Structures are given as C-alpha cells and as structure tokens.
Amino acid sequence: MGIFDGCLIASDVDDTLVSNGVITKNNIEKIEFFMREGGKFSVATGRSANAISTVTSALKRFSPSVVANGCIIYDYQNDKVLYQEIIPCNDHKLLKAVIDAKLNVGCEIHSGINSYTLLKNNETDFHQEYEGFESPLCDFSQVDKLVWNKVIFLTEQISEYEKIKDLAIKLNISSNLIATGLYANNIKHDFLEVVPKNVSKATAVNKLCEILNIKKGCSYAIGDYYNDVPMLKNADISAATAGAPQDVKAVADYITVPCEEGAVADFIDYLTKINKK
C-alpha cells in the first residue's frame, strides 16, 4: 500500500499549478510520485472542459476533474461528463440584457466540452489563446436552446461588471455571479462568471470524493484565489500559494512557495511529511 492510498488532491490550475502557461518540472515529478503512492490527483479549475490542454499535455494521467468552477466533473481518460449543473433557462435573459445594453464586455458561453463567443473583444481573444481552446462566434439565438454550464464576461473596464450585477438584480437572476481572473506575464485579467446557484469547487469536489471513494480525512486542496476559498475550507488539509491574497491564505492550513517555484510540489512534500509521521 502507498502512503496516499484513498487520498485526493484537488488543485486549482491558474497561478497554482500553472504559471504563465507552464507546469514546472518539480510539480510534474511530485504529482507522479503522489499517484505512484496511491493518491488521486485532480484539477479543480474555473477553466472549461476544453481548456486544460496545458494539464493534459504535461501529465500522463490524472483523475476525473472539476471544471467550470464546479459546474462539471469531467473524465479525461474516457472523454465523459460524470456530473454537471446547468444555468436555468430563465437566467439566459441576463445575457440578452447585456447585449441589448451594449456594455463594453466580451462574453463566452460554456456548454459541456464546447464554448461559444457571443461578444468578442481583446480579452476573449487573450482568454482563448492563453487557455488553448476554440470558441466560435455565434449569436444569441444560436445558443439560447443549448445547455449552459457557465457564462463568462471579460473586459479591461471592470466597472462594466457592476452594471452586469445591477442587471442581474433587476432581472431577479437565480444564478450566482462570481469574480474570477488570472495573471499572465504579470498582468491581472479580471473576469465575471455566471454559474448555477449553490455550485462551487467545494460542492463538486465533495461529489468527486464520492465518485472516487476517497477515504474520510484524505481530501486535500490547494488554490490561490477567492473562488478557491470554499474548496480550501472544505478540505481536510488545505494549502494556499505564497501569491494568494492574505484573506485566502488565512483559511489554509499551509502556505506554499510561489506558484512559479512549484507550489503543488511543495504541498505534496508537506503532505508526505505528515503522512510519514
């Protein structure tokens, strides 16, 4: 038996596992060690199912993973959705209202393993290039009848996000609006996402633990941003990266080295020391 039999690490991707589009060598080596010792390694990311090529190309194998900020659990070994939550059709009217208001934002719809661009701008171009996925340009009528797992608004003018929040209140939208983002080349990109009510990385990781038969007390998580907080609080042992905001660090059991130095590897070293005691 390995020291991590029945254990799971759920790792955020951007600025936790991946720095500027790269997974460090020591992260890869330690993840492989963790799995050789019986552990399950999964990502838990805001990225959509078709947007983690950085991970799939670097890791030979990994367990089913949480994508779209908890909306989907996807099995990459078998190309299969294991679990999903969807935005109510009634909430599609928020996007229609944003389009009609001519707000200065880009917009993507994420549906299963597919993505669609409703409003194109520099930020949608950056987002799709950085995460490595295709998102064809469509109009509202083409996507309105599809299943929506999440909507993401993107702009450099973050004051536009407050206008979207105001529209959501006026329209009595039931879905949650959450702030997300990523750093690339020391530039912060802020996004606003719409996800189904009561969905988070934490709820999806709990479901993943059921699917993978993770032992009680053996759920571990690492992240760096506010959308990771519920997952970190929910984990049996959690870590935040050195670059995380202070109030994110405050909920973690362990603070790792900076992402670019191998934060996930550092966390696995910490877990190894604990499990060998």
Give span(s): CATH 3.40.50.1000, the chain: 8-85+199-276
Q: Which CATH class is domain 8-85+199-276?
A: alpha beta
Closest C-alpha among 131, 134, 228 to residue 179: 228
Closest C-alpha among 244, 175, 236 to residue 206: 236
The 8-class DSSP code of residue 90 comes to G
Closest C-alpha among 148, 172, 168 to residue 160: 168
Query: 3-state class of 272 per DSSP?
Result: helix
Over residues 185-204, mean pLDDT: 93
pLDDT tens by residue, 35-89: 999 999 999 999 999 999 999 999 989 999 999 999 999 999 999 999 999 999 9
> Are the beta carbons of 99 and 146 closer than 8 angstroms?
no
| Predicted pLDDT of residue 182 | 84
CA distance 210 to 116: 31
CA distance 82 to 101: 37
Answer yes or no: is pLDDT of 276 > 80. no
pLDDT tens by residue, 81-100: 999 999 999 999 999 999 99
> Are the beta carbons of 44 and 231 closer than 8 angstroms?
yes
Give span(s): CATH 3.30.1240.10, the chain: 89-195
Measure CA 62 to chain center: 16
Q: List Cα–Cα distances, 257 to 12, 50, 206, 229, 241, in angstroms.
A: 15, 29, 27, 18, 6
- The CB density around residue 196, as the number of other CB atoms within 10 Å, is 23
| Predicted pLDDT of residue 85 | 97
For residue 158, which amino acid is it? I
> Are the beta carbons of 8 and 204 closer than 8 angstroms?
no
| Predicted pLDDT of residue 184 | 85
The dihedrals phi and psi of 15, each to the nearest 5 degrees, come to 65, 15
Answer yes or no: is pLDDT of 29 > 90. yes
pLDDT tens by residue, 107-132: 999 999 999 999 999 999 999 999 99
Q: At what angle do helices 93-100 and 159-170 cross, to 10 degrees?
A: 130
What percentage of the chain reaches a pLDDT higher than 90? 92
Which residue is it, tokens 């409703």?
A: 118
- Architecture of the domain defined by 89-195: 2-Layer Sandwich (3.30)
**HSE (side-chain half, CA atoms, 13 Å) at 67:** 27
